[in-house]
Amino acid sequence: MVKNITFPPWLTRQNLLVGAMLSLTISPMLSMAGFVGAALVTVFGEAEGTWTRERKGLVILLFALSLGFAWHNTQPEAIGPGRVAFTDYVPPLWFFFCLSWKPFPTAEVRKILYAFLFTVPQQFFLALGEIFLHWRGRFYFPLRKLPLLDLYWGPSEKGLKVSASFFNPNILALYALMGVIFSLSLYFQEKDKEFVPSRLGKVRYFFLWTVFFFSALLLFWTGSRYAWFFLLAAVFFFGRMSTHWLLKLIGAVMLLATLLALTHLFFPLPWLQAILPSVLTSKLTVFSEDRGLYYQWAWELIRTKPLWGWGIGTFPRLVAGRVRYTVLHAHSLPLQLGVEVGIPLAVSFLAFLIGLILLLGFRLSRKEKEEKHPDHLQRGLWAAAGIIFLMQIFDLALLMTYRLHFLFWLCLAIPFSQRVPSAARGTKEVQ
């Protein structure tokens, strides 16, 4: 692909991604530097990938999408919570391609996911302080304009629920859902590898289940209206992969609570009010009154310019004055893309790029199931990417933070790098 560069032994993709994960919640600057560095090391490092037919087609599609987004970039670049700009779309695409250039060994994937899970207890501790001690504040070091350490806790706006260090409860919900999926993926991988767990294996099991419950509690505390359904979907997805009684019990309890809550919504009964917390029933209302207005405005704008769109970042200006507060985005990725770049480019991005990659992952996961040799880490990453992508239909939490956005594309890049069918003919599969 390019002329190889010899890097120091410690400067590897694995180390950079592990560092990016460990600093994910305490230093956005270091975390993003780790992600970008990992992509560069992958492309310019010693090991080369293979130009398969799929990768050639992917490059053509990425160039076309990049040019299309560049042509629609008519607003000044805006970096801030809730704002959507050109850099939210194009850089993550090439990050995905660069990382997928070289396959990921299973040991490398395990270390990357464990590094992510080590950040969950920190967020759980911050959430406890936010709920019971009303913590609000920010710590940065050494300078505000160049913070190597940058820890923010509490919601960015008044009235929002638990946000830990992610400014917004919906972003924290997305992070927590990743914690649920990664902990379950690693648990099943460890369980298959070690039928009779050693003492260290039992410690890992305890850690993974602890992180699972911490992540589930974080998601519950955010009050996210839609994340509960995706948590339920994740538990049932992994429940099909194992006969573990605890996971099936958790899934059954969650399903029963969901059905009771839905019954309470449609047929309010006094005795149910004493059983179900109001926060659960509020979670199960996916569409709020405000969201309905945002979707209606977005659809009106799409119908006015269905082919070309209004330009990236124009939504706040186009809907200004309709309510007394500022609306920064459409709270739906398909509608946001339709408003900004038009239907053809939006379909190319959502269906031809992300949709086909996820379809490939679904097909390969089915094939692995038939062969009875499932790779739980790969299947967990496909599941994480798919569920998080579906979450964007009801919000834009992914585009509101570069760290989690790049993490989403990493979830696609890792299995894509190993499981493209043509790649098996050109490179030996890495286990």
User: In the chain, where are the structural domains located?
Assistant: 13-226+286-426
Q: What is the 3-state secondary structure (H, E, C) of 267-313?
A: CCCHHHHCCCCHHHHHHCCCCCHHHHHHHHHHHHHHHHCCCCCCCCC
Cα–Cα distance between 233 and 386 in angstroms, integer?
Answer: 11
The helix/strand/coil state of 259 is helix
Distance of CA 259 to the CA centre of its chain: 27
Q: How far apart are CA 410 and CA 404, in angstroms?
A: 9
Q: Which of 337, 325, 338 is nearest to 293 (CA)?
A: 325
Q: What does the pLDDT read at residue 233? A: 82
Tell me the torsion sign for CA atoms 169, 376, 387, 35.
positive
Side-chain half-sphere CA neighbours of 113 within 13 A: 31
Q: Which two tokens stand for residue 53?
A: 């037919």
Give me the pLDDT at residue 161, please: 83
Q: Which two tokens stand for residue 80?
A: 């801030």
Q: Which pair of tokens denotes residue 427?
A: 């490179």
Question: Residue 252's pLDDT is what?
Answer: 83
Closest CA to 414 of 53, 107, 192, 171: 107
pLDDT of residue 214: 96
- pLDDT per residue, tens digit, the chain (431 aa), is 455 677 788 889 999 999 999 999 999 999 999 999 999 999 888 666 677 777 888 899 999 999 999 999 988 777 766 678 898 999 999 999 999 888 899 899 999 999 999 999 999 999 999 998 888 888 888 887 788 888 888 887 776 788 898 888 888 999 999 999 999 999 988 887 765 567 787 889 999 999 999 998 998 888 776 777 788 888 888 877 666 677 778 888 878 877 777 666 555 566 655 555 555 655 555 455 577 888 899 999 999 999 999 999 999 999 988 888 788 888 899 999 999 999 999 999 998 888 888 877 766 666 655 555 667 888 889 888 888 888 888 778 888 888 899 999 999 999 888 755 444 434 444 44
Q: What distance in Å separates the CA atoms of residue 74 and residue 78, rounded to the nearest whole number? A: 12
- 45, amino acid identity: G
pLDDT given at position 284:
52
CA distance 186 to 205: 9
> Which helix (H) or strand (E) segment is 20 a member of?
helix 13-22
How many other CB atoms are there within 10 angstroms of residue 224's CB atom?
Answer: 29
